């Protein structure tokens, strides 16, 4: 029996929209748009953290993205967010 990459990467929590997210959840996959850049700060370990507001048709959330990942995102980007968690 063979498996496609889509089958192997299925998330544990079936989430269709941001409004369905509840803490604590992990391994969430979702498609959302980066609405705005909120702020940037440095950790004591010298990692850059960028906070973005992401939204879909149901709700919006703030998400922290570290280092190069955060630097690649710009407002207006549509992102497939994979393997993230909620605290």
Domain-by-domain residue ranges, the chain?
A: 32-87
Mean of all residue pLDDT scores within the chain: 86
Compare 68 and 5 and report the one with higher pLDDT: 68
Compare 2 and 17 and report the one with higher pLDDT: 17
User: What is the pLDDT at residue 13?
Assistant: 60
- Residue 19: φ, ψ to 5°: -65, -20
Q: What is the pTM of this model?
A: 0.78
How much of the chain exceeds pLDDT 70, in percent?
Answer: 84
C-alpha to C-alpha distance for 50 and 37, rounded to whole angstroms = 8
Query: According to CATH, what is the number of the domain 32-87?
Result: 2.40.50.140
User: What is the pLDDT at residue 4?
Assistant: 39
């Amino acid at each position: 029996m063979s498996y496609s990459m889509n089958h192997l990467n299925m998330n544990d929590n079936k989430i269709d929209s941001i409004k369905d997210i509840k803490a604590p959840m992990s391994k969430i996959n979702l498609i959302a748009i980066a609405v705005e850049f909120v702020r940037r700060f440095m950790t004591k370990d010298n990692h850059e953290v960028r906070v973005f507001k992401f939204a879909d048709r149901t709700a919006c959330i703030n998400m922290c993205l570290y280092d190069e990942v955060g630097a690649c995102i710009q407002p207006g980007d549509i992102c497939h967010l994979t393997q993230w968690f909620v605290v």
